Each structure stands twice: as structure tokens, then as C-alpha cells.
Amino acid sequence: MKIKPLADRVLIEPAEAEQKTASGIIIPDTAKEKPQRGKVVAVGKGTKDHEMTVKVGDKVLYGKYSGTEINIDGTVYMIMKESDIYAII
């Protein structure tokens, strides 16, 4: 990975949006919701007051409007502060 987050920031690869409902109905692209989970790809070193608890490879849940979407080499990632992550799953 060419990118290294600074301080308490985390780089996340969002999970794919659901293609079908549980009952089998196909969801069109215009109606798909933004995913709220993903896989941690890179982690900053933290700050002197805050030690990082997530690590590369963790699957996490984060807020719907958390972080900033960035495009690196054609892949979409989310970069956000660790405090925007709700849970490790």
C-alpha cells in the first residue's frame, strides 16, 4: 500500500453494497445504500494521547456519513479518524 494514514486516521476499504434483499428482490444501483462496514487497509501510528486499537485486516462498522471517500488507483477507500469507527466485527 502506497498510502500511510497520519496520527489517528484509518484507511478502510468499504464492503460491497447489497445486490439483493433477503427475499431475493434485486436492488437497482440508484436505491443502494452506502455500506457502513469495511476492512481496515492501513492504520496511522496514533497520537501521544491515543493508542490505536484497530489493526490492518480488522472488519469494522462505521457511521453512514463518517470519513472522506478517496479514489486510489481506481479503488474507492474511506479515510477517517479512529473515533468514527463504532465497532470491530
CATH number of the domain encompassing residue 55: 2.30.33.40
Q: Is residue 2 part of a domain?
A: no
According to DSSP, the residues that pair with 38 across neighbouring strands are: 14, 60
H or E segment and range at residue 78: strand 75-81
According to DSSP, the residues that pair with 10 across neighbouring strands are: 43, 80
Q: Is residue 44 part of a domain?
A: yes
Q: Which of 22, 3, 21 is nearest to 11 (CA)?
A: 3
Q: Is residue 20 part of a domain?
A: no
Q: Is residue 22 part of a domain?
A: no
The pLDDT of residue 31: 67
Q: Is residue 21 part of a domain?
A: no
Q: Which of 38, 42, 44 is nearest to 13 (CA)?
A: 38
Kindly give, in sequence order, each residue whose CB lies less than 8 Å from that of residue 48, ignoring residues fewer than 6 positions away. Answer: none
Q: In total, how many domains does the chain have?
A: 1
pLDDT of the chain, 89 residues: tens digit per residue: 588 999 999 999 999 876 777 788 877 777 667 778 999 999 999 999 989 999 999 999 999 889 999 998 899 999 999 999 999 99
The pLDDT of residue 89: 93
Domain ranges, residue 77? 9-15+34-88
